[in-house]
Amino acid sequence: MAGVSGCLKYSMFFFNFLFWVCGSVILGVSIWIRVSKNVQEELQIDSSLFAGVDLLIAVGSIIMVLGFLGCCGAIRESRCMLLLFFIGLLLIVILQITGGILGAVFRSQIETSLNRTLAESVNALQETAEETQVFRENFQKFEETNRCCGLVNGYEDWGNNFQTLINGKQVCACEENDASNDLCISHGGRSIYKTPCVEVISKYIEDHLLVIMGIAFGLAVIEILGLGFSMGLYCQIQRK
């Protein structure tokens, strides 16, 4: 009877060992961010971003489990572990395809939800409540870093808060060395940035869309290779 290919076996093991290491790194860093107050303050992560950190913890855990199943299944020639690995990876591929299809089908609803989120963020800029103070402070830092003003409609998004000091500075304040670069306009006796921050965000997404697509394509190739390796090894073990 045919034996198990050593090349396929150890390729499968090495592939899943890297998979497991990546999952371990994601899980470890995510837990560190979630529990460390110092890291949260350094990265300016508030409670509204904890959902994203929790998602990374879940992703890291799933990757670790799949990597463990793939490694042990390959080195021990366990059909059960290889089958579990294949099923888990196949479910991830199906979820990715489903997410892409749903994103295309419900594109208008997603755009509506995004517009609603932008409107809520604009309202938060105009409020004076303590609950939204952290958001206003972080957004003012974002403006300063990215040389923009407001979210959608420029300085108007700040409402009456346009005249207040946040983080000890006036919002939208244009730096002296930027005044000569056509980045600023004059309003109310002040020099402010003229570009709304939503344009900066949109440009960033557009500039990095190719990278995002490349990562997505790379993940798809890795997942298909993983499916092929696991099923090929499973069949060889079955024939052994």
Tell me the per-residue pLDDT of 101-142, one tens digit each, with 9 for 90 and over.
877 777 777 677 777 877 888 888 888 877 778 888 888 888
Beta carbons of 128 and 161 less than 8 angstroms apart: yes
Residue 44 has pLDDT above 60, yes or no: no
Taking CA atoms, 115 is separated from 9, 106, 120, 187, in Å, by 50, 14, 9, 27
pLDDT score of 2 more than 70 = no
Residue 232 CA to residue 240 CA, distance in Å, equals: 12
- CA torsion sign for 163, 168, 171, 175 is positive
- Chain center to CA of 129: 29
Percentage of the chain lying above the pLDDT 70 cut: 88
- What is the pLDDT averaged over residues 85-106? 82
The pLDDT-based confidence of 3 (bands split at 50, 70, 90) is low
pLDDT range class, residue 50, cuts 50, 70, 90: low
Tell me the CB-side half-sphere exposure of residue 10, using CA atoms within 13 A. 2
Rg of the chain (C-alpha set):
25
Q: What is the pLDDT of residues 184-237, one digit of tens each?
A: 888 777 888 888 888 888 888 777 777 777 777 877 888 888 888 888 888 887
Q: Do residues 20 and 64 make contact, with C-beta atoms less than 8 angstroms apart?
A: yes
pLDDT at 154: 84
Q: Is 147 helix (H, G, I), strand (E, B) or coil?
A: coil
The helix (run of H) or strand (run of E) holding residue 190 is strand 190-193
* Cα(86)–Cα(103) distance, integer angstroms: 26
Distance of CA 203 to the CA centre of its chain: 17
Residue 134 amino acid letter: V
